[in-house]
Amino acid sequence: MIEEKGILFVLSGPSGVGKGTVRKALFEKATNLQYSISVTTRNPREGEKDGVDYFFKTKEEFQNMIEQNQLLEWAEYVGNYYGTPKEYVQETLDKGKDVFLEIEVQGAMKVKKNFPEGVFIFLIPPSLEELKNRIINRGTETEELVTNRLLAAREEIEMMDAYDYVVVNDEVEKAVEKILSIVQSEHCKRERVAKQYKKALEGDVT
């Protein structure tokens, strides 16, 4: 009997490209994906809730989580720490449910190293100019932080080739449809492999 585990989907891309926006729109349609809520040391933005948008932690609490090996990956990003709770991801995959992470590029690369069977999706903006406009218009960052995030974005975009799929976020709905079709096609792929594996096992017996 082959154990059916869930698939780990990782959505990444530069700050301001629209990962959060696309993820929220995706979750309105894809009820079979489980979102892994991250831990962060950054302050909540207006309207953000603990346990919904993030688990907001102090630096000391975050450090303890690292020391106790509770994070699947973590990264320091523009002065704050962000990480993925390991237990939730493992338990959910073990139950056969898909997990969806929305994380920055350094963290995604760490997951890829430790969990290469994951599916890695890179969201890109239609242009760097548009990326800049999106971060500025969101109005959540100081001028200095906008500059830092844009500097990071240039380096992050260079990592695009390391991903399984690249999706352009020109229109949110189109990006969501692409991601949904990736999820579907990854399931078909794995079902095919499982069937072939089962056939091969049966062949061994007879």
Ligand X SMILES: Nc1nc2c(ncn2[C@@H]2O[C@H](COP(=O)(O)O)[C@@H](O)[C@H]2O)c(=O)[nH]1
Ligand Y SMILES: Nc1ncnc2c1ncn2[C@@H]1O[C@H](COP(=O)(O)OP(=O)(O)OP(=O)(O)O)[C@@H](O)[C@H]1O
Binding-site sequence positions: 13-20
Q: Does 104 bind ligand X (CB under 6 A)?
A: yes
Cβ distance to ligand Y smaller for residue 90 or 177: 177
Residues 6+ apart with CB under 8 A from 38: 54, 55, 82, 83, 84, 85, 101, 102, 103
Q: Residue number with the shortest CB distance to ligand X?
A: 107
**99 membership: H or E segment, kind and range:** strand 98-102
Question: Do 71 and 90 form a contact (C-beta atoms < 8 A)?
Answer: no
Segment lying near ligand Y (by CB under 6 A), choices 4-12, 19-27, 93-101, 176-184: 19-27
The CB-of-18 to ligand Y minimum distance in angstroms stands at 3
Two tokens at 201? 């096992």
Cβ distance to ligand Y smaller for residue 107 or 118: 107
Q: Does 33 bind ligand X (CB under 6 A)?
A: no
Cβ distance to ligand Y smaller for residue 11 or 72: 11
Which amino acid, one-letter code, is at 70? Q
Q: Does 15 bind ligand Y (CB under 6 A)?
A: yes
Measured distance CA(71)–CA(82) in Å, rounded: 10
**11 membership: H or E segment, kind and range:** strand 8-12
Measured distance CA(60)–CA(143) in Å, rounded: 28
Using CB under 6 A as the criterion, what x/- string covers residues 145-184 for binding ligand Y?
------------------------x-xx------------
Looking at 8, 9, 10, 15, which residue binds ligand X (CB under 6 A)? Answer: 15
Question: Do 17 and 134 form a contact (C-beta atoms < 8 A)?
Answer: yes
Measured distance CA(190)–CA(164) in Å, rounded: 15
Q: Does 83 bind ligand Y (CB under 6 A)?
A: no
Segment lying near ligand X (by CB under 6 A), choices 62-70, 71-79, 160-168, 184-192: 71-79
Measured distance CA(68)–CA(71) in Å, rounded: 8
Site residues (vs ligand X, CB under 6 A): 15, 19, 38, 42, 73, 75, 77, 82-84, 102-104, 107
Interacting residue ranges for ligand Y, rule: CB under 6 A? 15-21, 134, 137-138, 169, 171-172
